[in-house]
Amino acid sequence: MTRDRSEMSEDDDDQQSQSQSPPLDLRSAAIAEPCSSSSSSFSVVDSTPNKSRNCISSGTLTSQPFPDHVLENVLENVLQFLDSRCDRNAASLVCKSWWRVEASTRSEVFIGNCYALSPSRLTQRFKRVSSLVLKGKPRFADFNLMPPDWGANFAPWVSTMAKAYPWLEKVDLKRMFVTDDDLALLAESFPGFKELILVCCEGFGTSGIAIVANKCRKLKVLDLIESEVTDDEVDWISCFPEDVTCLESLAFDCVEAPINFKALEGLVARSPCLKKLRLNRFVSLVELHRLLLGAPQLTSLGTGSFSHDEEPQSEQEPDYAAAFRACKSVVCLSGFRELMPEYLPAIYPVCANLTSLNFSYANISPDMFKPIIHNCHKLQVFWALDSICDEGLQAVAETCKELRELRIFPFDPREDSEGPVSEVGLQAISEGCRKLESILYFCQRMTNAAVIAMSENCPELTVFRLCIMGRHRPDHVTGKPMDEGFGAIVKNCKKLTRLAVSGLLTDQAFRYMGEYGKLVRTLSVAFAGDSDMALRHVLEGCPRLQKLEIRDSPFGDAALRSGMHRYYNMRFVWMSACSLTRGCCKDIARAMPNLVVEVIGSDDDDDNRDYVETLYMYRSLDGPRKDAPKFVAIL
């Protein structure tokens, strides 16, 4: 089940990894406190943190003639069993020979920030990589807070890997800029290529996809998730080879281009291993029906539009429910991009088996929704629009006792609308779904009481993201700030690793976060806090903080400086529309040479040159990037 969850969720990121404080080259870092001894997500090539070891300190990689080949062989055989990157990072720090062997046996590499190192550093250290996970832009770029063309280009990575890893099998990119040429190079360079996953990426079109489909004969997974794919008017579905394919997963629900349905039908028919199929909205109900009849082995289905263009024909309509009934294995259901609600009952036959249901494109009323959800006893992951209202959430709470992840998106994301979900829904969920681990909840009004209730009822929470859409909104019953609610979350949810706050918050809320947020790795703050003290609480507390994103909050230079002791141990810090000055950012850049400090401004920011519109800073082993556009100043 965890597999399905991570596929659907946008931030599958760090739910596996626990302790992460990667040390950088300590010789040049001015770090006040010692790095934590926990494992790193990407340790430095030539660091030797253990002073007692008698190691070659020149930092060169020329290997000494190693007397004990047996030991190295044994090590290799043992280390091969280490899968988790935390374990591998720890192993690589033991001594040089362990480092060497680990580097030669690591097959899956995870890079959380593509600018933390250069592609050549990757290929120099790890020689047998078959799988790469690479992340680019910071998350706030999704909300237009960063101009396009900022960077995160896949090109240098693919061209370097083309020479170094001809056996590459898997590439998983998130928020990267990928061009058709990059995809073409990928398709040409890796004959055994099996899995391409592009999440929130852009820069390519259906031509690039066509090339991958055509040339990657061993392709098992082609997942395009929430990416922007231009319509080059290419029939990419027809570009898959004619013979039986190895396809196990094909997801193209984000592709805004019509497809050749006949070709798709043929493709599905000759893909016996196909388990996951996510259609885009250009596939109608009738077409879906035909596909289902031909692919009863599917486990994960994205239904496409779930509607049809023409008026229903006078002859008998297909028996959609029967098609769903035949899909005994479907456990994950999504799509419904242009749902015609009268057809929704067709999915009844699969409800009892569902562990994952995504209605987040379907504007369903509570009355339509309740009969469906009452069948979904096994549901663990549920995404929906707030059109289901508090009433719908109560129905979820009554039925879905196994719920682990809930996401409620706003149908109408304005700040001033009334809002169909509120603290009532949240309270109900907290009482009914005790196993809840992850929640993302958009609403217009909320109370501390409901948030506190959730903190007490759902001890397994690791992800708590509450977005009260009206800025600076207090508890709408008591009129007080939301400090106590979020305070309770950090206090009571001992496993919390990710937190996003909203509503009216004073410095007190941040005091709680700093003190109690012991495992928090990711923190998102918007329109919150009163003074620098708020940010200082967080930077001086929250020992595991890795990713900090702040917007429109009154935090200034003093607060930023207070975190200098830890920026090397973080993946990135984003601060936009705060009160930072360029001078301070320059100081930090000077004091911390391995930190890349980017100041991103709008084009004509001349009247206020000292003001920093957006600060994005991150550690890097290879210095500032060479591909920064004009509007990015690297201090």
Partner 1 sequence: MEGCHRNGEIAPKLLDLNLMITQESRRPWFHDDENSVFNTEERKLELKLGPPGGEDEHASSIIRHFKKEPKDKSILSLAGKHFSSSPSSTKTTSHKRTAPGPVVGWPPVRSFRKNLASGSSSKLGNDSTTSNGVALKNQKCDDDAKIMEPMRQGGMFVKINMYGVPIGRKVDLSVHDSYEQLSYTVDKLFRGLLAAQRDLSSSVEDEKPITGLLDGNGEYTLTYEDNEGDKMLVGDVPWQMFVSSVKRLRVIKTSEISSALTYGNGKQEKMRR
Interaction with partner 1 in 147-186: which residues (CB under 8 A)?
147-149, 179-180
Window contacting partner 1 (CB under 8 A); options: 1-9, 83-91, 426-434, 601-609 = 601-609
The tokens for 498 are 């990710």
- Binders of partner 1 among 95-134, rule CB under 8 A? none
Looking at residues 539 to 568 of the shown chain, list those that interact with partner 1 (rule: CB under 8 A): 551-552, 554, 556
Q: Which of 99, 165, 252, 442 binds partner 1 (CB under 8 A)?
A: 442
Phi, psi of 391 (to 5 degrees): -60, -45
Which of 107, 189, 214, 297 touches partner 1 (CB under 8 A)?
214
The residue (of 20 and 305) whose beta carbon lies closer to partner 1 is 305
Six-digit token string for 145: 């807070």
Question: Binding residue for partner 1 (CB under 8 A) from 340, 352, 593, 623?
Answer: 340
Q: Hey, what amino acid is at 562? A: S
Window of 70-78, 115-123, 162-170, 198-206 that interacts with partner 1 by CB under 8 A: 198-206
Distance of CA 282 to the CA centre of its chain: 26
Question: Which DSSP helix (H) or strand (E) runs through 109?
Answer: strand 108-111
Interface with partner 1 in residues 289-328 (CB under 8 A): 305, 307-311
| Per-residue b or e along 247-278, where b marks 16 or more CB atoms closer than 10 Å to that residue's CB | bbbbbbbbbebebebeebbbbbeebeebbbbb
Binding mask 241-260 for partner 1 (x = CB under 8 A): -------------x-x----
- Beta carbons of 392 and 384 less than 8 angstroms apart: yes
Contacting partner 1 within 581-600 (CB under 8 A):
none
Q: Which of 299, 579, 594, 620 binds partner 1 (CB under 8 A)?
A: 579
Joined tokens for residue 61: 């990689």
Interaction residues for partner 1, span 346-365 (CB under 8 A): 360-361, 363, 365
Closer CB to partner 1, residue 311 or residue 315? 311
What CA–CA distance (Å, rounded) separates 438 from 443? 16
Bridge partners (DSSP) of residue 222 are 196, 250
| DSSP at 398 | H
Q: How far is the CB of 609 from partner 1 (least distance, A)?
A: 11
Q: Which stretch binds partner 1 (CB under 8 A): 231-239, 487-495, 514-522, 565-573?
A: 231-239
Integer Cα distance of 110 and 107 in angstroms: 10
- What is the rounded distance in angstroms from the CA atom of residue 616 to the CA atom of residue 604? 19
Asked if residue 45 lies in contact with residue 61, where contact means CB atoms within 8 angstroms, the answer is yes
- Residue choice 281, 404, 511, 521 for contact with partner 1 (CB under 8 A): 281
Q: How far is the CB of 404 from partner 1 (least distance, A)?
A: 22
- Report the C-alpha gap between 155 and 457 in whole angstroms: 47
The token pair that represents 309 in the structure block:
């263009």
CB atoms within 10 A of CB 505: 28
Find the binder of partner 1 among 42, 115, 126, 140 (CB under 8 A). 140
- CA dist 384 and 322 (Å) reads 25
Single out the residue of 15, 554, 501 nearest to residue 514, CA to CA. 501
Q: Nearest distance from residue 467's CB to partner 1, in Å? A: 6
Task: Considering the complex, state which of residue 180 and residue 248 has its C-beta at the smaller distance from partner 1.
Answer: 180
Interacting stretch for partner 1, rule CB under 8 A, among 225-233, 348-356, 428-436, 514-522?
225-233
Q: Residue 146 carries which DSSP code?
A: S
Of 402 and 412, CB closest to partner 1: 412
Closest to partner 1 by CB, 474 vs 514, is 474
10 Å Cβ neighbour count for 314?
A: 6
**In the complex, minimum distance from the CB of residue 383 to partner 1, in angstroms, rounded to a whole number:** 11
Exactly one of 58, 64, 81, 143 binds partner 1 (CB under 8 A); that residue is 143
Please identify, among the stretches 45-53, 66-74, 97-105, 441-449, the one whose residues bind partner 1 according to the rule CB under 8 A. Answer: 441-449
CA angle 211, 213, 216 (to 5 degrees): 90
Give the SS3 label for residue 104: helix
- What part of residues 456-475 is at the interface with partner 1 (CB under 8 A)? 467, 469-474
Closest approach of Cβ 510 to partner 1, in Å? 15
Number of C-alpha atoms within 13 angstroms, CB side, residue 435?
A: 10
Give how many residues touch partner 1 by CB under 8 A. 91
CA torsion sign for 228, 234, 235, 237 is negative
Please, which residue, 81 or 143, has the CB nearer to partner 1? 143
- Binding to partner 1 (CB under 8 A) within 469-528 occurs at 469-474, 476, 478-481, 504, 526-527
Quick check: helix, strand or coil at residue 12?
A: coil
Q: Which of residues 385-414 bind partner 1 (CB under 8 A)?
A: 385, 387, 409-414
The binder of partner 1 chosen from 12, 108, 515, 530 (CB under 8 A): 530
Is the dihedral angle over the CA atoms 610, 613, 618, 622 positive or is it negative? negative
Pairing outcome for strands 131-135 and 108-111: parallel
By CB under 8 A, residue 238 contacts partner 1: yes
> Nearest distance from residue 83's CB to partner 1, in Å?
32
- Rounded Cα distance between 331 and 324, Å, is 11
If the CB atoms of residues 397 and 534 are measured against partner 1, the closer one turns out to be 534
Q: Which is nearer to partner 1, 88 or 215 (CB)?
A: 215
Residue from 282, 369, 616, 618 touching partner 1 (CB under 8 A): that is: 282
Site for partner 1 in 4-43 (CB under 8 A): none
Asked if residues 380 and 5 have their Cβ atoms less than 8 Å apart, the reply is yes
Q: How many residues are listed for the chain in this entry?
A: 635
Nearer CB in complex with partner 1: 280/355: 280
Nearest distance from C-beta of residue 472 to partner 1, angstroms: 5
